[in-house]
A and B are shown apart, each in its own frame.
Chain A
Amino acid sequence: MNGEPLLEVRALSVTLRSRGRVVHAVRDCSFRLHGGEVLALVGESGSGKTTLARAIAGVVLPQSGAIRFRGRDMGGLARAAARPLRRRIQMVFQDPDASLNPAHRVGGILAEPLQVIRFGDRTAIAARIRELLAMVRLDAALLEKRPRQLSGGEKQRVAIARALAMEPELLVADEPLSSLDVSTQAAIAALFRSLQQRLRIGLLFISHDLGAVRQLADRVAVLYGGEIVEAGPAARVLDAPAHPYTRLLLAAMPDLKHRRLDLPLADAIDRLEELPDLPQACHYRPRCLDRAGVCDARAELAAVGADRGHLARCHFRDGPPAATPG
């Protein structure tokens, strides 16, 4: 992981306006992604992970901060100059029913990116489409079909093939598994893994499913309220979480091995008293099971123990507070 990162996000903030209200969807997020690496963005709905992904993909404008791709500041480039760079960032969406034009055939959907980049004449395009289909393990017989005639997994494979047609260096996948059946999820996750390794693509994998994250990710960043609250190598974050939110996510996940519904945890969440909003306080404090007096002042994202690759935004990142409030 030496050398220049493929993607560098620096102090990125995105503000969205919905019905007159201003929502700070992404707040001061910074991270790096190297080529051939998988970074998972984890968080619940409303945590800002989709907005962050779309800002990186260039379909949402950031409020402040910088997105550097291959060392160039995407915000500072003119449209025409950004175009060839932007083509190297592609996205796979959650629901292939929505991301594939229902009126087009699979052949047309896959030919379009090739026509746009003037890949070559008809024969060249047809050959390239066959190549793409083989990469996502689809049969050429599907070319004449429309999206609605395909299974969920097949549709998602078509969406992946369309993204691959642009020969991306960075693939942003926004919950690409969550609309699929369980057995299909495992297959698509495996496809992502093998493609990413074979083609040395940087993969930004957005998911709320920690099982899929464990399967795919090299590094994990956990988002809460638009902020990164914990980041680090997947093994560290998932096996030795330092932020109470990460711990809660892991504990709340139903587990096939232990098969126990954590009723005391559910009770503890239910019993949390509501807290007044304090501007200086930790954003997670109202839902935190370990909160204490010091949480009235926010913690910075800082190293956990001596591990400089593992960061957490919590006063108690090196151990729980002495007494937990009841």
Chain B
Amino acid sequence: MTVIVARPADSLATRYLARWELLTGGLLLAVIGLLVALGPSLAGHDPAFVDLRGRLLPPHSPQHLLGTDQLGRDLFARLLHGLRWSLAAATGATLLAFTTGTLLGLLAARRHSPLATLIRQVTNFAQSFPVLVLAICLVAIVGNSLATVVLVLGLVTWPVFCRVVQAEAASLFAREYVLAAEMLQMSRLRLYFRHVVPGLLPSLSVLLAFHFADMLIAESALSFLGIGAPLGAATWGNMLQESRAYLLSAPWLLLVPASAIVMLVITANLLGDGLRRHLE
């Protein structure tokens, strides 16, 4: 049977789109990286410095690029501080979920193994919990800190990775090249690292990017609700929360952190989507 494998027109468009997405995402990532590296010092203000004479200054005010909040604190400095916090929390949570989920997923993919069955059942059980509610309860018990946020978000969302890894690895185990490798009677470790894990990388890398975006939003939601981040700390969720009272009089208090969240999520999504298209 002669079959033309790819539709040239489609693949060309896909490749073009993938390149555009990766390029834009990468560029945004570079800018974000620079902002993280420079930190609040870039704004020339301490994010916690209160100046009651300069309250609620609009963006483009002298010395305050993005204006000030209800206590006269510099918004740009607070934004940069929040960026570090958000990135740290989302990265930590994503890595924790990724590590736990991938390890358990690989174990769950084995045929004829009671451990695999157990993990699959635990995953189903864990995934049926409402994530945010569970996180709120846990943070409320453990207390507010960056480590708590990372721990809670990571431990609540690992089933996402476990599910995907288990399904993909199970299909890889059914592939004949993995069967052929098994017939060589190699060690489990070698089988996994030479034949199974490389096959998972495309979907895992895409999932990582998307999960990171999810974790960003989840972290902001938590600190908006007043859990996770210490009260009054310069995090984006806190900034959103505090802006509510000034929604009409000083809308930039809302718009600044909100657009920052959107930008970061878009960056992660662009990278994830571009990666997905690229790997197709």
- The reply to whether A and B meet directly (CB within 8 Å) is yes
A interface vs B, CB < 8 Å? Answer: 54, 57-59, 61, 83-84, 86-87, 89-91, 93, 95, 98-103, 112-113, 116-117, 159, 162, 166
Interface of A (DSSP majority class)? mixed
Known: A101-B195, A103-B198, A116-B190. A93 touches B184 (CB 8 A): no
User: Which of B177, B184, B186, B194 has a CB less than 8 Å from the CB of A100?
Assistant: B177
A61-B112, A112-B194 known; A86 vs B176 contact (CB < 8 Å): no
Contact between chains at A57 and B183 (CB < 8 Å)? yes
> How many Å lie between the Cα of A162 and that of B176 in the bound state?
13
| A112 and B183 alpha carbons, distance in the complex (Å) | 12
Q: Are B176 and A99 in contact (CB under 8 A)?
A: yes
Contacts A58-B183, A91-B183 aside, 18 further interface pairs with beta carbons under 8 A come to A59-B182, A59-B183, A87-B185, A89-B183, A93-B179, A93-B180, A95-B176, A98-B175, A98-B177, A100-B180, A101-B177, A101-B194, A102-B177, A103-B199, A112-B194, A113-B184, A116-B186, A117-B184
Question: Is B181 part of the binding interface, using a Cβ–Cβ cutoff of 8 Å?
Answer: yes
Cα distance A117–B198 in the bound complex, in angstroms: 22
Which one of B177, B185, B190 contacts A86 once the chains associate, using CB atoms below 8 Å? Answer: B185
Q: Once the chains bind, are B185 and A162 in contact (CB under 8 Å)?
A: no
Interface SS majority for chain B: helix
User: With A and B bound together, what is the CA distance between A101 and B178 in angstroms?
Assistant: 8
B106 smallest CB distance to A (angstroms): 17
Knowing A61-B112, A112-B194, the reply to whether A91 touches B184 (Cβ < 8 A) is: no
The residue of chain B having its C-beta at the shortest distance from the C-beta of A94 within the complex is B176
> Using Cβ atoms and an 8 Å threshold, which residues of chain B touch A166?
184
Closest to A103 in B: B198
Chain B 141-179 residues near chain A, CB threshold 8 A: 175-177, 179
Closest Cβ of chain A to B29, distance in Å, is: 27
A61-B112, A87-B185, A116-B185 are known contacts. Are A99 and B180 too (CB-CB below 8 A)? Answer: yes
- Which residues of the partner chain A approach B179 to less than 8 Å between Cβ atoms? 54, 59, 91, 93, 99
- CB-CB under 8 A from A95, the residues of chain B are 176
By the criterion CB–CB under 8 Å, are B185 and A91 in contact? no
- Considering the complex, which residues of chain B in the window 176-208 have a beta carbon less than 8 Å from any beta carbon of chain A? 176-177, 179-186, 190, 194-195, 198-199
Most buried by A among B175, B176, B179, B180: B180
A-B contact pairs, 14 of them (CB 8 A): A59-B182, A86-B183, A87-B184, A89-B183, A90-B183, A91-B179, A93-B179, A95-B176, A99-B177, A100-B177, A101-B194, A112-B186, A116-B186, A117-B184
Q: Which residues of B contact A (CB under 8 A)?
A: 112, 175-177, 179-186, 190, 194-195, 198-199
Q: When A and B form their complex, which 7 residue pairs have the shortest distance between CB atoms, in order from nearest?
A: A99-B176, A98-B176, A101-B177, A116-B186, A93-B176, A83-B185, A113-B184
Question: In the complex, A87 Cα to B182 Cα: how many Å?
Answer: 10
Residue in chain A with minimal CB distance to B177: A101
Contact B112 A162, beta carbon cutoff 8 Å = no
Distance in Å: Cβ of B173 to nearest Cβ of chain A: 10
- Give the complex CA separation of A192 and B121 in angstroms: 46
| C-alpha gap A93/B182 in the complex (Å) | 13
Q: Which residues of A contact B177 (CB under 8 A)?
A: 98-102
Max chain A CB contacts within 10 Å: which of B175, B181, B184, B198? Answer: B184
A91 to B179, CA, bound (A): 9
How far does the alpha carbon of A112 sit from the alpha carbon of B177 in the complex, in Å? 12
**Residues of chain A within 8 A of B186, CB atoms compared:** 112, 116
Bound: A95/B176 CA distance, A: 8
Residues of A within 8 A of B185 (CB): 83-84, 86-87, 116
Query: Which A residue's beta carbon lies closest to that of B175?
Result: A98
Query: What is the CA–CA distance of A91 and B183 in the complex, to the nearest angstrom?
Result: 8
Shortest Cβ distance from A235 into chain B, in angstroms?
32
Nearest chain B CB to A107's CB is how many angstroms away? 14
- Give Cα A54–Cα B179 distance, bound, in whole angstroms: 10
CB neighbours (8 Å) of B199 from chain A are 103
B9 to chain A, nearest CB (A): 22
Distance between B274 CB and nearest chain A CB, rounded to angstroms: 21
- Shortest C-beta distance, A178 to chain B (Å), equals 13
Max chain B Cβ within 10 angstroms of own Cβ: one of A61, A98, A117: A98
Residues of B within 8 A of A162 (CB): 180
